[in-house]
Structure 1
Amino acid sequence: FLLLLTFGIIMLVGIYLVPPLAEIAGDNMVWTGMARSLIWLSEFSIQYWYIILGVFVALCVIIGISLPNWSGRLRAKFDKLPPWNVYKIQMSVGWLMSLSSMVAAGITIPDAMRMLADNSNKYLRDILEDTLHYIANGANLGAALNSTGRDFPNSEIIGDLAIYADMNGFDENLGRVANDYLEESVRKMESVSNVLNSIGILLVSAIIAWVVLGTFQMQDQITSALT
């Protein structure tokens, strides 16, 4: 929302606020400081607003499509950045909770993983299928997840699963790990959300300050030119 608000403010300033002031000053006016930057913004917005809007919409669509469909080692790097990291947390929590329930019901790890993979989107399915490949070669769940190189769900959970997989009562330990991860993920998502909101508020505030100061400078320079 804040990103959309920022985009809207920039476009409104460039198309509707600055042009009337620039028209009063005339074409021969030499702008300086922040006033000059607002004039540049206005000219750019008027000429290329459709390109800016198209790029913004295209970027949103690409990100939306990439979340459930993009996978691989490069995606693992993007999973450290928003919004992919938030999506990764959501998917990993759902997977681990489902796996815990299935194992507690007596389903083996390979069968449970296969069932979950068959009913997952491409992003999660590729991770689970890679994990199944290593499980088929003799690795336990934690070691198999580590071998995929995807850092899924995260290094701490992978380490816990690698340890508990070779211990008795794995189904109980898996349930405990899943519940702890759920609580941790809720806290982490709240933290990420707070950080993003803070950044967004600072960005909007900075743009508003820039517009206000630039407008004052335009008015001062117009007054000086007319006197």
Structure 2
Amino acid sequence: MTSFRNLEEAFIRFQFGGKDRLRIYRKLARLQRNRVTMTESLKTMWRHESNEGKKPKRPAAIALDAWRRRVENGKSIGDAMEGWVPESDRTIIRAGEKAGSLPEALDDAIFIHIGQKRIRTALIIGISYPFVIFCALITLLVIVGTNVIPSFSTIVPRERWTGSGAMLAYIADFVEVGLIPSLVGLVVLTFVILWSMPRWTGRARVYADRFPPYALYRLVRGSGFLLSFATMVKSGIKTTEALRIMIRGTSPWMKERLTKALAIMNDGTNIGDALYRSRMEFPDREVVLDLRTYASLDKFDEALTTIGRENLEETVTRIERSSAVMRNVCIGLLAAAFGMIVGGIFSLQSQITSTF
């Protein structure tokens, strides 16, 4: 029975997604700005989410009820949210509570979520369109290789095909013999690259991060790092402590970069110089130069927030630009293949006409 309850609770927490979370963050921030106590805020939101108690099994209502009980037992809201929201959100919220700026911390958590969602959306759109074109190209080659070309070979033997018509014979041979192994190899290569992105470390990886697709991974992860780091520092967390928090539970790739920077900062170096001296080129060279400029100046937290937000916009723009390049390349390949096939068919028709 205990296992079933744990499974049920895990499923409910899974259903409590980003949309519900952001809605509650916004309401809680507004209530806190109006000086409503935390317990009363949670009770009010529970009544609304449960439709005055008529639907208490809604994930958001269950979450709010769990938070209320924990708060009434003496926990802070940041601690009460454990298990229900991402650890990065809890870190920002707890820091905001300690600094007496909980509404601002909730706003920052919302901004980070929206920013990361924008990046994910840009990535999905950027990858899906070239993927569809690639599938169309493979489908075209299969149709031509299995249906069109064999019908011509029954009229004129392949050995007599010349010019662009001879290229169709190579396409048919590739579809028959090489297509499946090539697709399998491409899938394996894609899996290896995706597996290595968060795991591959070392000096060779630093050089690989300069080129696609690893450069895109560094861009996305670097933007997420800046947003989270800026929010933590703005909430009053020391830069070294913010890095320690972010190191916990992160990927080997990110851990290597943050650990090296932290080791340098332990000697009194600021975050900008530490990232520069680590020679990891993370988040990227321009951002590191900006951090080196502002880290030793007053109001670094404000400058860091500005850098993080500007980098978010730049990241989305770069992803969209890279996606446009990939899309144009795929369209070019599809057009070239279509043109080659059409030219080959006309060439074969001419050979058939001259033969008969």
Write the letter of the residue equivalent to 2:142.
M
Contact 1:99 1:112 in 2 (8 A): yes
Write the letter of the residue equivalent to 1:14.
G
After TM superposition, list the pairs within 5 Å mapping 1:41-190 onto structure 2. 41-190=171-320
Partners in 1 of 2:266 and 2:352 — Cα distance? 76
1:55-74 C-alpha deviation (Å, 9 max, x unpaired): 12112212221222223332
Residues 1:13 and 2:144 are matched in the alignment: yes
Bigger drift between 128-137 and 198-207 goes to 128-137
With CA pairs under 8 Å and 6+ residues apart, which has the higher RCO, 1 or 2? 1
Candidates 32, 35, 43, aligned match of 2:162? 32
Residue 100 of structure 1, CA deviation: 0.6
Residue 213 of structure 1, CA deviation: 0.8
1:91-141 C-alpha deviation (Å, 9 max, x unpaired): 111110000111111111111111112132222222111222222244321
Pair 4,78 (structure 1): closer, same or farther in 2 beyond 3 Å: farther
Write the letter of the residue equivalent to 1:42.
A
Residue 145 of structure 1, CA deviation: 1.3
Write the letter of the residue equivalent to 1:10.
L
Contact 1:76 1:150 in 2 (8 A): yes
Partners in 2 of 1:8 and 1:75 — Cα distance? 35
1:31-62 C-alpha deviation (Å, 9 max, x unpaired): 21111111012113212333122112112212
Structure 1 outlier segments of 4+, above 3 Å? none
Write the letter of the residue equivalent to 2:157.
G
Candidates 311, 327, 343, aligned match of 1:197? 327
Residue aligning to 2:123: none
Pair 186,49 (structure 1): closer, same or farther in 2 beyond 3 Å: closer
Residues 1:211 and 2:341 are matched in the alignment: yes
Write the letter of the residue equivalent to 1:23.
T
Residue 168 of structure 1, CA deviation: 1.5
Write the letter of the residue equivalent to 1:33.
G
- Larger-gyration structure (1/2): 2
Tell me the percent identity. 31
Residue 161 of structure 1, CA deviation: 0.6
Residues 1:23 and 2:154 are matched in the alignment: yes
Residue 79 of structure 1, CA deviation: 2.4
* Partner-residue secondary structure (3-state), 1:82: coil
Matched residues, number: 225
Pair 157,66 (structure 1): closer, same or farther in 2 beyond 3 Å: same
Partners in 1 of 2:211 and 2:138 — Cα distance? 21
Q: Provide TM-score, normalisation by structure 1.
A: 0.90
Write the letter of the residue equivalent to 2:151.
P
* Partner-residue secondary structure (3-state), 2:212: coil
Partners in 1 of 2:170 and 2:152 — Cα distance? 13
Partners in 2 of 1:72 and 1:203 — Cα distance? 35
Q: Provide TM-score, normalisation by structure 2.
A: 0.59
Contact 1:73 1:149 in 2 (8 A): no
* Partner-residue secondary structure (3-state), 1:151: coil
Residue aligning to 1:3: 134
Write the letter of the residue equivalent to 1:120.
T
Q: Which runs of 5+ in 1 are unaligned?
A: none
Residue aligning to 1:222: 352
Contact 2:219 2:284 in 1 (8 A): no
